[in-house]
Amino acid sequence: MLERIRTPCIITIFGGTGDLTHRKLIPALYNMSVEELLPDELMIVGVGRRPLSTQEYRDSLLESVTKHSRHPIRTDIWERFKERIHYFRMNLSESEGFSSLKTWLESLDEKAGTQGNRLFYLSVAPSLFEPIVLHLYRHGMADNLGAWQRVIIEKPFGRDLRSAAFLNHVIESVFPPQNIFRIDHYLGKEMLRSLMVIRFGNAVFERIWNSRYIENIQITAAETVGVENRAGYYESSGALRDMLQSHLLQLLALVAMEPPISLDIKAIRDEKVKFLKSLLKMDDGLFKNNIIRGQYGEGSIDGNTIRGYRQEKGIDPASNTETFIALRILAGNFRWGGMPFYLRTGKRMPEKTTYVVLEFKSMPEILYFKEYKGMQPNLLEIRIHPSEGISFSFNAKKPGSGNEISTVRMDYCQNCSYENNSPESYERLLADALRNDQTLFTSWEEIEASWNFVDSIARSWEKETVSFPNYTPGTWGPTASNQLLERYGHHWWNL
């Protein structure tokens, strides 16, 4: 159970009328209110351009909370919660609005006892990140004198190393590093947080967590949806920048980093950065046989016609943006030298799921492995989302007089035991930002190392042509993704 947050504050959400605010941020804050985590002196200000009164804004949020909240809506709690919410209309590209916003927030401070503390949430298109931060600076809204001001920046953080470095420079010249929260909501997922405990809290695992005992490690993050209403953003990002640079590399770093010397945030970040820096770049030679990209075409799922990516609203009919990527990654360090990590992510896959599989080396083909060809290697499966849990599969003799062998699974289902108790990522992360705990946020050094790796792929892609579309909706991507693993004597584990 999380402890109640004590610090008074106004959370100002730039992009207060947007999709993320409606689907995730306000439902998360409502859930925190249900669990009595919010201090009495906490106000929420949604900022947008639409002409709405505060009452209309609250009504529109009620609809979203009813649809998306983890806890069912309770009228008595909503009635109290909605009093915290206000709407402020302004155009973020214009300076005057910030001056009025500042005065208005100060008047709210007086009424609500929020003491000048601010959490600015930048839930807007990345092109607005820099202007907003600079406006906050110019209007004295980020001077951190007396009260504190923190900023949460949504992903994507840049679109390559250069733009990310520039953005970081701007933000760090306005906010002190400890007040900058670069969010990657994957890091708020319960199983990601459990990963370190699984690894470093169990002697049986950590001893064999290396290339001597593990044959390969696979990470799958699959979505069933297509591009939905995010065409503009997705066209310029694709699976590489949208998923690999942030979520997948963060997950990989937690799976593969060295044990940190303490649970101190710096110690953990240092190990993640060290691992990310050890990844072999995908330029030239390595690139050729190790990366597959795909784009879904037209098809049908469960009798429903599915438009191809190029036919989606707002997408260029000749678009070469990838909606799928699979790759084989090598890390140049002692623990993992030579052992492949296989990562894949895509849209319009057969299921929405995120998981990690550790495939252990097979026994020598002397006893059972010689006679029973179908025997499976041991697998450790870590399910991240939507099902959360961990399973280990091993071979056992089938009961009876025969000598048959079958693979059995020991299974721990985390979200079966703690039903409805797992807070959503955004609940966890908003609470952490209010408490000034950066552990689950990404440091600049991690982002820099990820872009360094991802840029090596983007550079290589510029040199070659692709033939899209190349996979059918409702499948696990292009057949070349399977061939990538077959070439090395492996195959994907579809859980």
Ligand X SMILES: NC(=O)c1ccc[n+]([C@@H]2O[C@H](COP(=O)([O-])OP(=O)(O)OC[C@H]3O[C@@H](n4cnc5c(N)ncnc54)[C@H](OP(=O)(O)O)[C@@H]3O)[C@@H](O)[C@H]2O)c1
How far, in Å, CA of 305 to CA of 302, rounded?
8
Among 33, 69, 117, 123, the residue binding ligand X under the rule CB under 6 A is 123
Question: Which of 49, 398 has the CB closer to ligand X?
Answer: 49
Q: What is the 3-state secondary structure (H, E, C) of 372-436?
A: CCCCCCCEEEEEEECCCEEEEEEEEECCCCCCCEEEEEEEEEHHHHCCCCCCCHHHHHHHHHHHC
Tokens 């292009």 belong to 478
Is 352 a binding residue for ligand X by CB under 6 A? The answer is no
Is 49 a binding residue for ligand X by CB under 6 A? The answer is yes
Q: From residue 407 to residue 436, what is the string marking binding to ligand X with x (rule CB under 6 A)? A: ------------------------------
Q: What is the 3-state secondary structure (H, E, C) of 422-470?
A: CCCHHHHHHHHHHHCCCCCCECHHHHHHHHHHHHHHHHHHHCCCCCCCC
Q: From residue 306 to residue 345, what is the string marking binding to ligand X with x (rule CB under 6 A)? A: ----------------------------------------
Residue 341's CB is within 10 A of a number of other CB atoms, namely 21
Is 15 a binding residue for ligand X by CB under 6 A? The answer is yes
Question: Which of 16, 423 has the CB closer to ligand X?
Answer: 16
Please, where are the H alpha helices in 86-217?
Answer: 95-112, 129-138, 161-174, 190-200, 203-206
Kindly state the smallest distance separating residue 344's Cβ from ligand X, in Å.
20
Which amino acid is it at 474? G
Q: Which stretch binds ligand X (CB under 6 A): 78-86, 91-99, 186-194, 322-330?
A: 91-99
Alpha carbon 160 to its chain's center? 18
CA angle 172, 258, 252 (to 5 degrees): 70
Kindly state the smallest distance separating residue 68's Cβ from ligand X, in Å.
11
Is 67 a binding residue for ligand X by CB under 6 A? The answer is no
Among 155, 159, 247, 269, the residue binding ligand X under the rule CB under 6 A is 155
- Closest to 327 (Cα-Cα) out of 491, 490, 481: 481
Kindly state the smallest distance separating residue 412's Cβ from ligand X, in Å.
29
**C-beta nearest to ligand X: residue:** 18
Is 91 a binding residue for ligand X by CB under 6 A? The answer is yes
Contacts with ligand X by CB under 6 A: the residue count is 19
Active-site positions read: 247
Is 126 a binding residue for ligand X by CB under 6 A? The answer is yes
Length of the chain: 495
- What residues line the site for ligand X (CB under 6 A)? 15-20, 48-50, 91-93, 123-126, 154-155, 233
